[in-house]
Amino acid sequence: MTVLNVVVGITGGIAAYKAVAVVRALVLAGHDVHVVVTEGALRFVGKPTLEAISRNTVHSDLYEGVAEVRHVALGQAADLIIIAPATANSMAKLAAGLADDLLGNTVLASTAPVVIAPAMHTEMWQNAATVANVALLRARGVHVVGPAVGQLTGADSGPGRMSEPDDIVAAALAVLAPKDLLGQRIVVTAGGTREAIDPVRFIGNRSSGRQGVAIAVAAAARGADVTLIGANLEVRPPASAAIRLVEVSSTLELQSAVTDAAADAEVVIMAAAVADYRPERVAGSKIKKESQGDTLRLDLVRNPDILRALAVGRREGQVIIGFAAETEADREALLELGRAKIARKGADYLVLNTVGWSEGFGTEGNAVIILDAAGDIVGEASGSKASVAGPILDLLT
Ligand code: C5P
């Protein structure tokens, strides 16, 4: 993984408190983060918080560190500059090229890509001056993330809310990602299917969809044309990621969506946790305990094995990647299960991970072993679900 030198500029809006989470996400992803705050930002969030989270000295004063020419050194060293939140005032200053504070100097002295996450009230966002400034910044190559539509600081809501920190980080890192999957059509399934029992109940699993969504986001950042088939996702890809999202719930719905999408895709990655069985009959109305007594018996029938069917029917050159979530903790036993599974499924690769009450499903991190069709280990990765996505996608380059 390449460690990036990232300057996070924080300007004076209430969303500055959420900038802490932007810094945190970048640090946890392994990057070297240097925070530059404006005087206004310091009214909303304190330096000690930012220093603790960024693990670096936080800079605000243009006239400090003069001997080391800090007003240009930070910008010159940066691989990436993220300004979050970017207020209407700070965007106006950027558009005018003003250098009356440390952040302005840092941006002017840098050739790194600049990503801004605007945050302000709707009227300010829609004001002709702001609209013109944003258009000018975009024309100069500045990447604008958001703003989102939603609850603002007061009672009002509308466009102007700063994008969520993870979305900002994903969009910013995507700017620097190598475009080595450009033009590849990739289908990713994510989440866990739900099999209806009656109108209000289902049989499901604890998959959140985080790993599949992370793969889809990383693939889109690397230039792929991504269709994400999401089954009951707890997390969604950021709006900024160019991903076609198809939402499904049951295994049969997922089968139909993935079969359609796979027809003109080069790659299918089946990260979804798909139910092996579904109730044979779905009750038309809520099942009542009064009519069932002490035991309720459900007859379940086998669902189709989508992965196997895709692998059997794949076109020449199409790559099919399966996942295996197992509760086996012993590495050798896990590998044996994985080897048997890839042979049974006929996939090109199998991403093997252990899941349990507290691992794998629903968690932020993951650890995987990747097997090829012969059952040989071709990769291992652990860390955040985003960092695990990298080696999986490397299989396609
Ligand atoms: O052992 P299991 O059949 O659950 O293997 C998991 C892999 O198979 C995953 O990639 C999952 O998406 C896929 N699968 C499937 N159809 C099923 C069950 C699992 O495609 N009915």
- Tell how far the Cα of 76 is from the centroid of ligand 1, in angstroms: 49
- Predicted confidence at residue 3, as pLDDT, reads 94
Is the predicted pLDDT of residue 356 greater than 70, yes or no? no
The number of the ligand 1 atom at minimal distance from the alpha carbon of 304 is 21
pLDDT digits 0-9 by tens, 361-379: 767 778 899 999 999 999 9
68 vs 21, more confident: 21
C-beta atoms surrounding 320 within 10 Å: 24
Q: Distance between CA 173 and CA 168 in Å, rounded?
A: 9
- Predicted confidence at residue 363, as pLDDT, reads 73
Q: Distance between CA 380 and CA 218 in Å, rounded?
A: 17
The number of the ligand 1 atom at minimal distance from the alpha carbon of 189 is 12
| Pocket of ligand 1, beta carbon within 6 A | 251, 270, 272, 274, 276, 303, 305-307, 322-324, 341
Protein residue whose Cα sits closest to atom 6 of ligand 1 = 324
| C-alpha to C-alpha distances, 285 to 131, 281, 299, nearest whole angstrom | 53, 12, 17
Active-site residue, 205 included = yes
Q: Where are the alpha helices (DSSP H) in the chain?
A: 16-28, 47-54, 70-77, 88-96, 102-108, 122-126, 128-139, 165-176, 210-221, 251-262, 306-312, 331-345, 385-394
The number of the ligand 1 atom at minimal distance from the alpha carbon of 306 is 20
Residue 269 and residue 212 in contact, taking contact as beta carbons nearer than 8 Å: yes
- Predicted confidence at residue 324, as pLDDT, reads 95
Closest CA relative to residue 162, chosen from 213, 137, 125: 125
- Stretch 255-268: mean pLDDT: 98
Protein residue whose Cα sits closest to atom 7 of ligand 1 = 323
- Do you know the residue count of the chain? 397
Residue with tokens 């918080």: 49
Q: Angle at Cα 93 formed by Cα 92 and Cα 99, nearest 5°?
A: 175
- Stretch 36-54: mean pLDDT: 98
The number of the ligand 1 atom at minimal distance from the alpha carbon of 310 is 20
- Stretch 141-161: mean pLDDT: 91
- Tell how far the Cα of 322 is from the centroid of ligand 1, in angstroms: 7
pLDDT digits 0-9 by tens, 1-19: 689 999 999 999 999 999 9
* Mean of all residue pLDDT scores within the chain: 94
The number of the ligand 1 atom at minimal distance from the alpha carbon of 272 is 12
Query: pLDDT tier at 358 (50, 70, 90 boundaries)?
Result: low
The number of the ligand 1 atom at minimal distance from the alpha carbon of 309 is 20
Q: Angle at Cα 23 formed by Cα 20 and Cα 24, nearest 5°?
A: 85
- Tell how far the Cα of 218 is from the centroid of ligand 1, in angstroms: 22
- Stretch 262-282: mean pLDDT: 98
- Tell how far the Cα of 252 is from the centroid of ligand 1, in angstroms: 13
Mutate which of 307, 352, 361 for ligand 1? The one with the most ligand atoms within 8 Å of its CB, which is 307
pLDDT digits 0-9 by tens, 171-217: 999 999 899 999 999 999 999 999 999 999 999 999 999 999 999 99
- Stretch 152-175: mean pLDDT: 90
| C-alpha to C-alpha distances, 204 to 251, 277, 323, 377, nearest whole angstrom | 10, 10, 17, 31
Which domains are seen in the chain, by residue range? Answer: 5-176 (3.40.50.1950), 185-394 (3.40.50.10300)
Query: pLDDT tier at 50 (50, 70, 90 boundaries)?
Result: very high
pLDDT digits 0-9 by tens, 295-347: 999 999 999 999 999 999 999 999 999 999 898 889 999 999 999 999 999 99
Mutate which of 207, 303, 306 for ligand 1? The one with the most ligand atoms within 8 Å of its CB, which is 306
Query: pLDDT tier at 387 (50, 70, 90 boundaries)?
Result: confident
Q: Distance between CA 309 and CA 347 in Å, rounded?
A: 10
Is the predicted pLDDT of residue 240 greater than 90, yes or no? no
| C-alpha to C-alpha distances, 296 to 21, 199, 220, 283, 290, nearest whole angstrom | 47, 16, 46, 13, 11
Protein residue whose Cα sits closest to atom 18 of ligand 1 = 274
pLDDT digits 0-9 by tens, 102-149: 999 999 999 999 999 999 999 999 999 999 999 999 999 999 999 999
Protein residue whose Cα sits closest to atom 8 of ligand 1 = 307
Q: Distance between CA 314 and CA 10 in Å, rounded?
A: 49
Ramachandran angles phi, psi of 371, nearest 5°: -105, 145
- Tell how far the Cα of 303 is from the centroid of ligand 1, in angstroms: 10
Q: Of these residues, 5, 105, 133, 205, which one is catalytic? A: 205
- Stretch 82-101: mean pLDDT: 98
Protein residue whose Cα sits closest to atom 5 of ligand 1 = 324
Protein residue whose Cα sits closest to atom 17 of ligand 1 = 305
Mutate which of 305, 361, 368 for ligand 1? The one with the most ligand atoms within 8 Å of its CB, which is 305
Mutate which of 228, 345, 349, 352 for ligand 1? The one with the most ligand atoms within 8 Å of its CB, which is 345
